[in-house]
Amino acid sequence: MTASQPSINDVKAYMEGLGRAARAASVEIARASTAAKNLALTETARVIEAEAAALAAANARDLDAASALDAAARDRLTLTPARIAAMAQGLREMAALPDPVGAITDLARRPSGIQVGRMRVPLGVVGIIYESRPNVTADAAGLCLKSGNAVILRGGSEALHSNQAIAACIARGLAVAGLPAAAVQVVETTDRAAVGALLQSPAYVDVIVPRGGKSLIERVTAEARVPVIKHLDGVCHVYLDADADPAKAEKVAFNAKCQRYGTCNTMETLLVHAAVASSLLPPLFARYRDAGVELRGCAATCALDAAVTPATEDDWYAEYLAPILAVRVVSSLDEAMQHIRQYGSQHTDAIITENYSHAMRFLREVDSSSVMVNASTRFADGFEYGLGAEIGISTDKFHARGPVGLEGLTSQKWIVLGDGEVRG
């Protein structure tokens, strides 16, 4: 377990070496048995627990060097005993998930006599670019391993020693399972050119998953020459329909905003039908104020409650990630959906209604990665959806939308089972 940063002069050659090794390892990991992959996961979990002190020591080195970070960033960087235990637990849960690789579906006989179906297969080599949380190293490596992919991890420079220490635990897990060490590689240089090399090497990298703030994602999107599974803004809406059940409306609208403020699936704008605004909003506003939520509203909202600040155009686009809520009264379901189309980020949107046709139209016509009826937007999450874990939440439409678990890290190839058939 080397904790020093190696001196790497030629970053391009270094990254090409990682890429070549990952490509070779991807062939082995793709055909690895479920038992071997699960053993690597559970053995890594065991080593992480056994090496908790060493992990904490490596993390302390990072924290010592990171005196310039603010308190929130230091918190994200810190590996507490509970977080170390959670990493191990997460790996054990991945081991318990079904293996997606090799699953054959839709096998059907064609008029020619051949049987055609699809087999789920790994994507190949996944590049993860992330910021300070070192636990991403274990989570992302575990998901890639279980889905049969090789992975190259490029974490934040401030977390380098922590990430190397976690990688050393993973390496021991891979070795016990007889899997190639290069299936999981951590980039051991903090040179930013390493990110550029990852983004522009379609020969060695099949997909990039950036995890971090908006500026990271924008850089990755602008520079990438390989596919990206990315998560942009979460400007989530709850629409209280004219036919909303008042109790469900209050419960969901409060939870969607207040259960946690800083998450991407938190409601940022509340839409309310004009017919129920005066009955539903006052009790809700009282609860928001008790919780310390600042309210910014359209003219109709301000007319209902003089203490609400007038919202500006910018408020409708805002992902506050804070105890602030924009509120708008609309005259119809169509106006609500039009607002979501114009200002939303296609992440997660919910309607509260007892009206069947309105529920069906909302489900069908709102073009977001998660669309909900009578449930809190906070449910948009890999664990809540039963994926077991997620590598991220995709706001793209291509390949994977919404929470991306093991399946999002795979593709399907076609298989044909014949008996000597030829084409006529």
Site for a second copy, rule CB under 8 A? 27, 30-31, 102, 108, 110, 112, 114, 116, 119, 121, 123-124, 206-207, 227, 245, 247-248, 251-252, 254-256, 259, 341, 350, 352, 361, 363-365, 367-376, 378-380, 384-386, 396-399, 401-403, 411-424
The nearest distance, CB 251 to a second copy, in angstroms, is 5
Residue 96 or 416 having the CB closest to a second copy: 416
Q: CA–CA separation, 11 vs 149, rounded Å?
A: 23
Q: Look at strands 184-186 and 207-211 and give their pairing.
A: unpaired
Q: CA–CA separation, 52 vs 230, rounded Å?
A: 32
- CB count in 10 Å sphere of residue 420: 5
Phi, psi angle pair for 284, to nearest 5°: -65, -45
The nearest distance, CB 150 to a second copy, in angstroms, is 13
The nearest distance, CB 166 to a second copy, in angstroms, is 28
The nearest distance, CB 70 to a second copy, in angstroms, is 28
Calculate the alpha carbon distances from 25 to 55, 187, 210, 221, 280 in Å. Answer: 26, 16, 22, 27, 58
The nearest distance, CB 256 to a second copy, in angstroms, is 8
The nearest distance, CB 406 to a second copy, in angstroms, is 14
Residue 7 or 413 having the CB closest to a second copy: 413
Residue 139 or 206 having the CB closest to a second copy: 206
Residue 196 or 227 having the CB closest to a second copy: 227
Residue 305 or 381 having the CB closest to a second copy: 381
CB under 8 Å to 330, separation ≥6 — which residues? 239, 271, 272, 273, 274, 336, 339
Contact call for residues 391 and 137 (beta carbons, < 8 A)? no
Residue 164 or 377 having the CB closest to a second copy: 377
The nearest distance, CB 365 to a second copy, in angstroms, is 5
Q: Look at strands 402-404 and 392-394 and give their pairing.
A: antiparallel
The string of DSSP codes covering 81-130 is HHHHHHHHHHHHHHHHSPP-TT-EEEEEE-TTS-EEEEEEEE-SEEEEEE
Residue 24 or 57 having the CB closest to a second copy: 24
